[in-house]
Amino acid sequence: MTFGPDGKLYSTIGDQGKNQLALACLNNQAQHLPTADQVAAKNWTTYEGKVLRLNPDGSIPEDNPEINGVKSHVYTYGHRNAQGIAVGPTGDIYVAEHGDDELNRLVAGGNYGWPYVSGYIDDKAYQYYNWSAAENCSELTFNDVAPAPAGVTVMNESQFNATNFVPPIQTFYTVDKDFNFTEAATSCGEMTSTCYPTVAPSSLRLYTSDVIPGWENNLMMTTLKAGRIFQIALNENGTALAREPVELFRSENRYRDIAFDPDGRTIYVITDMMGPVQAMKEGPIIPTTTLWSPGSLLVFRYER
Ligand SMILES: [Ca+2]
Ligand SMILES: [Ca+2]
């Protein structure tokens, strides 16, 4: 959650893992929008997979977008799990999305694609398997790498044609079409997803000081399974990256959140207590759960 420059609160809600794993038979709400009746009844069940814009007293701002004819707290939708949110140097708001591994710039009323699209509409490895719509869903065994069983409908990204679709300004890093899921499952077992090239973004913060050269007005994005923090420079109007992200602080740690001391040279990072991270070694990715600094507050200091 963050305050915007407009004095409103922006709050993210993930899709709650619906249509996946143990919750495969529950309908994913990320593309579902509230009806006028639901808003009147304060029924917020469709708010999963959204970014909300609220007055600080919790009420719906009068200038919130009207989406499909209904004004609600919903500011943007079609999100998977936006764990990081930050105001950028131009006053625009950015979210770092865990699970489809995107950096998004929020546009009022925008549809960010999930679960129909992950990253760009490019028909890479991702297809939408609608498990929850299968009549026999409870009898099926969930599997996110094998062909869909009978009853589960499959949709290619290119079949999604919402006019308000907003592509990410960067992905980190979408699994390609020729990725060998079987090989990853063999070498990584239950931690298969740790071996995908995606990074599992967690938090997002803006560095505003001029102390560290080249960092002013850059976004810093922490990641869980990749063991690194990405330094992200935006272009002048904040609509795209100015250059490739820079990878910092590589370790065997799951970085949960980052904060900057007002002195501009001290950087605080908290880590997860447990969980898989990509091991630091050459060759194919393998996971490790032996973390260097589990459940720690780390301090990095710029000395020059
Ligand atoms: Ca998206
Ligand atoms: Ca894609």
Distances (CA, A) of 66 to 36, 109, 110, 166: 11, 7, 11, 17
pLDDT digits (tens, 9 = 90+) for 290-300: 999 999 999 99
Could you give the CA distance from residue 199 to residue 281 in angstroms, rounded to a whole number?
16
Which pair of structure tokens corresponds to residue 52?
């909300």
Q: Are 272 and 291 in contact (CB under 8 A)?
A: yes
pLDDT of the residue at 183 = 86
Share of the chain above pLDDT 70, in %: 100
- Considering only CA atoms, which of 52, 50, 54, 45 is closest in space to residue 30? 50
pLDDT at 239 over 80: yes
pLDDT digits (tens, 9 = 90+) for 191-201: 888 999 999 99
pLDDT of the residue at 167 = 98
For residue 292, the CA-to-ligand 2 centroid distance in Å is: 33
pLDDT of the residue at 53 = 99
pLDDT digits (tens, 9 = 90+) for 123-178: 999 999 999 999 999 999 998 778 889 999 999 999 999 999 999 999 999 899 99
Q: Which ligand is closest to the CA of 101, given by its number?
A: 1
pLDDT of the residue at 83 = 98
Which pair of structure tokens corresponds to residue 266?
């001290």
Which pair of structure tokens corresponds to residue 181?
């899921």
The counts of H helices and E strands in the chain are 2, 21
pLDDT of the residue at 1 = 97
For residue 166, the CA-to-ligand 1 centroid distance in Å is: 7
pLDDT at 37 over 80: yes
| pLDDT, average across residues 32-55 | 98
The DSSP output letter for 182 is H
For residue 10, the CA-to-ligand 2 centroid distance in Å is: 26
For residue 129, the CA-to-ligand 2 centroid distance in Å is: 14
**What does residue 182 show for φ and ψ, rounded to 5 degrees?**
-65, -45
Could you give the CA distance from residue 30 to residue 119 in angstroms, rounded to a whole number?
15
pTM: 0.97
- Considering only CA atoms, which of 84, 114, 110, 111 is closest in space to residue 97? 84
